[in-house]
Amino acid sequence: MRTPNRFTGANAKSEAANSAIQLLTYATKHYKPNRGAVTRDTPAVYSENGVDWKHVEAFEYDAAEPRMRLILEAKGKPLWIAHTPPYMDRNLAALEKWAKTKPGFRVETIGRTVDGRPLRLWTIGDGPRVAWLMFRQHSWETGSSWVAEGLVKELLANLPKQLTVKMFPLCDPDGVERGGVRFNKFGYDLNRNWDVNGVEKMPEITAQLAAIKRWLDSGKKIDLFYSLHNTETSEYLEGPPGGAYKELAERFFHLLESGTSFAPTRKLFFSETKVDPGRMVVIQGLYRDFQLPGFLMEQRISRHPKYGRLPLVEDRLRFGRELAVTIAKLLTP
């Protein structure tokens, strides 16, 4: 599978704080075409009904091209093949429809994508302690959406009174619709460019940043910010820039490691404080602008040591429930 990893966004029209030339320099440096997201460690999934997904039983992998030849027996038509089990807007719409029937769930549209799709902000609960969560900044990382679904179901069943959870459940609906990888329609990585924030080219970042700013300007606080991602083979928690909120970070890391399936491939570490123009991730941007305690977590899609297998949808849903419990423990001890 070839990854359409392209960059077309940095041009002179962007409202970049940094000059277009500087951005183009960094674009050339960072946005190299990907040789392929599929690796020997991350076999494809397939489905015969579009709902139940499993990994291919056998495959041949040629790292030189790279190319994966799937060996499976299809019992009928149709047959779907994907990198990871898809989570589409219709999955999100179904979850939202269900959640709306529960007390304590609210939904707002905070803006529109480049293609005009609504950007949602969900709020659960009304307590004084506030967690703000973020999912699918990168459209290929479907695992994080299944986690979000498990988390929402747990919160709506067992939300502590002291807690409010706000979340951007799906940050790049255009990318999800077109089968994108990391970039919005204009080629901007929605988990970089938090220092650039152009209304015209990055309406997604602009809307998310504005929603957070409105909340803080109204006198409310955010006790924890968390953005979840997927990688091929690594799993980790990255804390606020420069070691800020160290005690909270250590407690969060410990609770994740002991109370969930989080199986880190590296120790807790903290974001860099210095960032190349056009490379600032959300937790760095929110720390710079509002000193928020932001965390970025990656979950692997390769074989998982705590599951003893390649992660399935049910594992993501379960981690979502565990994450909800962990956040409640962390913020409402």
| Residues forming the site for Zn ion (CB under 5 A) | 138, 229
CB-based contact 41:83 (threshold 8 Å): no
Contacts of 52 (CB under 8 A, 6+ apart): none
Q: Show Cβ contacts of residue 168 under 8 Å, excluding neighbours closer than 6 positions.
A: 119, 120, 121, 122, 133, 134, 135, 208, 211
> Who's near 184: CB < 8 A, 6+ residues apart?
9, 113, 114, 172, 174, 175, 190, 201, 202, 204
Task: Find the shortest distance in angstroms from Cβ 157 to Zn ion.
Answer: 28
Please say whether the beta carbons of 281 and 294 come within 8 A: no
Name which of 122 and 183 has its Cβ closer to Zn ion: 183
Structure token digits, residue 19 = 């000059």
Contact (Cβ atoms closer than 8 angstroms) between residue 171 and residue 135: yes
- Of 301 and 312, nearer to Zn ion (C-beta) is 301
In the complex with Zn ion, the residue whose CB is nearer, 138 or 153, is: 138
CB of 141 to Zn ion, least distance (A): 5
> What H or E segment, with its residue span, contains residue 216?
helix 203-217
Q: How far is the CB of 296 from Zn ion (least distance, A)?
A: 8
CB nearer to Zn ion: pick between 229 and 316: 229
Q: Measured from the CB of residue 106, what is the shortest distance to Zn ion in angstroms?
A: 27
Cβ proximity to Zn ion: between 163 and 301 the closer is 301
Nearer to Zn ion, 138 or 279 (CB): 138
Q: Give the shortest CB-185-to-Zn ion separation in angstroms.
A: 17
Cα gap 219→236, rounded to integer Å: 32
Minimum Å distance from CB 138 to Zn ion?
Answer: 4
